[in-house]
Amino acid sequence: MKSDSNSRRTPLYECHLRAGGKVVDFAGWQLPVQYSGLMDEHRAVRTAAGLFDVSHMGEFKVSGPGAESLLQQLTPNDVSKLTPGRIQYSGLLTESGTYVDDLLVYRLGEEEFLLVVNAANADKDFAWIEGRVSADVNLENVSADYGLLALQGPRAEEILSALTPIDLSQIRYYRFEIAEIDGARTIVSRTGYTGEDGFELYLPPDSAPAVWDRLLEAGEPHGLIPAGLGARDTLRLEAAMALYGHEIDDTTTPLDAGLSWVVKLAKGDFLGRDVLVAQKETGLEKKLVGFEMVGRGIGRQGYEVLADGEVVGRVTSGSFSPTLEKAIGLAYVPAGLAEEGTEIAIQVRKNAVPAVIVPIPFYKRDQ
């Protein structure tokens, strides 16, 4: 199935068509929503491995003597703690402490960083950073220099080891090495967006299709299958990982979203710091919570959350969980209603369907 001809294609577009992928428009890109089916792909990642094309993500290189100082100012996490080979989850924040976007920060060298941002926000993010760059910083949009594959699942290390001479067991979570994967120079990053172990591979676009094919070939005996956007979303929801435009946006702060661990107030000044300090002192008005449906129905994004018949919030993400075999979701509710076990309802079309607030993440892998 082909999609809007005006949207962009990743280096793996032909691979998706050959594999029977159902291609849809996503953030201006033609990407597979599924191949064999969302449930099969989701369960493969939880039990064996799945291979995703995430080449649509944006990548910026920030370098120069002032690179670290700039990123310290733009993000709430402490970039100075990064040594080359380490990665940090963080955000680009506004002066109001809300999100421009969330992102990964890779320290390539003492004065060189790679930022990985959401595809839909890439142009906005680049302009935001560019407007704050000083003379001692070089900013480049290098998105076209990378294809990006995500190999996710408990057998990911075993599968990838067939294509590289390096000892993958030595790459810890949120670390990376630069190595050859099937002959292609690759940033091998132990990161992902599924709640499982796995790797993200940044490699030259021309090399991506061959590596994709080789991974599927090497992984077939281990249960590896290609996986699409549908499974990626249900996997990240089970792991309660925030998605821009859902759990985080320009109206939410990291504290609202339960991401206070990315906010390092002690590091000094950064955009939005004063607002976050005040929010921490006065307490949160709203909190992001997880819920399970008790009644029949699925609470999807935008559905109203009810307490005692009154609208108290909205669902940010919701779906049927293939792992838990129940309907789950994330929502913002007033802080006073955020306690686990609180009974709520989700307005599903004409029905107020009972639900209950539960701990998140819904799923956590065995370490």
Q: What is the CATH number of domain 58-141?
A: 3.30.70.1400
Per-residue pLDDT of the chain (367 residues; tens, 9 = 90+): 444 557 899 999 999 999 999 999 999 999 999 999 999 999 999 999 999 999 999 999 999 999 999 999 999 999 999 999 999 999 999 999 999 999 999 999 999 999 999 999 999 999 999 999 999 999 999 999 999 999 999 999 999 999 999 999 999 999 999 999 999 999 999 999 999 999 999 999 999 999 999 999 999 999 999 999 999 999 999 999 999 999 999 999 999 999 999 999 999 999 999 999 999 999 999 999 999 999 999 999 999 999 999 999 999 999 999 999 999 999 999 999 999 999 999 999 999 999 999 999 999 998 7
Peptide bond into 361 cis (omega under 30): yes
Determine whether 321 is exposed, middle or buried from the number of CB atoms within 10 Å of its CB (0-12, 13-18, 19+): buried
CB 342 within 8 A of CB 336: no
CATH fold match for the domains 58-141 and 285-358: no
Residue 39: CB partners within 8 Å, gap ≥ 6? 322
Both tokens of 346, joined, read: 């989700």
Q: CA-CA distance, 58 to 239, in Å (whole number)?
A: 23
Superfamily assignment of 285-358 in CATH?
A: Aminomethyltransferase beta-barrel domains (2.40.30.110)
8-55+146-238: which CATH topology? Gyrase A; domain 2 (3.30.1360)
What DSSP string describes 59-85? Answer: EEEEESTTHHHHHHHH-SS-GGG--TT
> Which of 97, 123, 144, 117 has its CA nearest to residue 256?
97
Task: Give per-residue burial for 78-94: e unless 16+ CB within 10 Å, then b.
Answer: bbeebeeeebbbbbbbe
Domain spans in the chain, listed from the N-terminal domain onward: 8-55+146-238, 58-141, 285-358
What is the residue type of 294?
V
List the strands of the sheet with 87-93, edge to edge: 87-93, 99-109, 112-117, 58-63, 138-141
